[in-house]
Amino acid sequence: MKQTLFTGVATALITPLTDIWVDYNRLGELIDWQIEMGVDALVVCGTTGESATLDDAEHRQVIEYAVKRVDGRVPVIAGTGSNDTRYGVELTKHACDLGVDGLLTVTPYYNKATQTGLIRSFEAMADAATKPMILYNVPSRTGVNIEPKTAAKLSEHPNIVGIKEASGNISQIVELFSLVGDNMDVYSGNDDQIVPILAMGGKGVISVLSNPMPRETVEICRRWFNGDLKGSAELQCRYLPFIKALFSQVNPVPVKAAMARMGFCEDHVRLPLSPMEEPFRANLYKCMDELGLPCAEGENK
């Protein structure tokens, strides 16, 4: 039986940014708050953390800072995937040396590799890793889908322990479960599919929603694992309008707007992303107000 990195909720953490640097003071405060609210793990330098526009030094520094700040309180999982497998191998080695608990490796983007290319690329990174690895399937962003048979083949590697499934294709995810068995843990990569994937035997979610609502997202999973299936489903439905608002424009634009309104960061994303637009912002704020999420002093109410 392979190691399970976490069960429940891992927050795909935003990276607080100013115009020119990473705001480490706010990143530290956010890390502490997330842990206090009960999340089960933290993912840094993923899509939500704007890894694509962190330079190499920043990427490494954010991982190092997170490991030190967390100080063993929850698992730290670092995004180390790349469309350049050589760089992904290098970053994977470095993250392992820094003391992360696990790795999240996204499907190589833009190159549009074949399934054979995906297998060889992921295996190269897993061979270089000294920590367990979770694959990240998000074809809407990368242009390439990890097919269930490919995931099953990769699940045979001892260092590949899980997959974050953000394809949105429930039929594909059901097929995935049927093929990987106990060789691979499956996590929801979409906040609107937490309960459906738990129902298939999923281990939890790598979540955007848990940035502004960590305790509430944890409660969805807690209720499920405690046998309160109806209660878990009710929460999934209750938060659905807000989840939709968080993805009404490309992630992490809306969640950055939400977290800025709550006082956790500046409402700043790096180009080519740009701040949230109307009427999407107004709807996001409306959803936040309906859920009773706090609004920091001086922010738009």
Domain-embedded: residue 292: no
Domain-embedded: residue 27: yes
Domain-embedded: residue 18: yes
Q: How many residues belong to the chain? A: 301
Domain-embedded: residue 291: no
Domain-embedded: residue 288: no
pLDDT in tens, 76-118: 999 999 999 999 999 999 999 999 999 999 999 999 999 999 9
Return the pLDDT at 108: 94
Cβ 6 vs Cβ 202: under 8 Å: no
User: Predicted confidence band at 221 (pLDDT cuts at 50, 70, 90)?
Assistant: very high
Return the pLDDT at 2: 83
Distances (CA, A) of 111 to 25, 83, 84, 121, 172: 36, 7, 9, 12, 23
Average pLDDT, the chain: 96
Closest-CA residue to 37 (of 63, 90, 73): 73
The torsion defined by the Cα of 237, 241, 247 and 253, in degrees rounded to 10, comes to -130
110 burial type by CB count under 10 A (0-12 exposed, 13-18 middle, 19+ buried): exposed
Q: How many domains does the chain contain in total? A: 1
Reduced to 3 DSSP states, what percent helix, strand and coil does the chain have, rounded to the nearest 5? Answer: 45, 15, 40
Domain-embedded: residue 207: yes
Domain-embedded: residue 184: yes
User: Predicted confidence band at 211 (pLDDT cuts at 50, 70, 90)?
Assistant: very high
Return the pLDDT at 73: 98
Q: What is the Cα–Cα distance from 13 to 208, expressed in whole angstroms?
A: 7
Domain-embedded: residue 296: no
The residue written with tokens 């994303």 in the block is 269
Residue 296 has pLDDT above 90, yes or no: no
Eight-class DSSP state of 113: -
CATH number reported for the structural domain that contains residue 124 in this entry: 3.20.20.70
Residue 301 has pLDDT above 60, yes or no: no
Return the pLDDT at 298: 62
User: Predicted confidence band at 58 (pLDDT cuts at 50, 70, 90)?
Assistant: very high
Q: Which residues are catalytic?
A: 136, 164
Element (H, E) at 70: helix 56-70
Residue 250 has pLDDT above 90, yes or no: yes
Domain range enclosing 196: 8-228
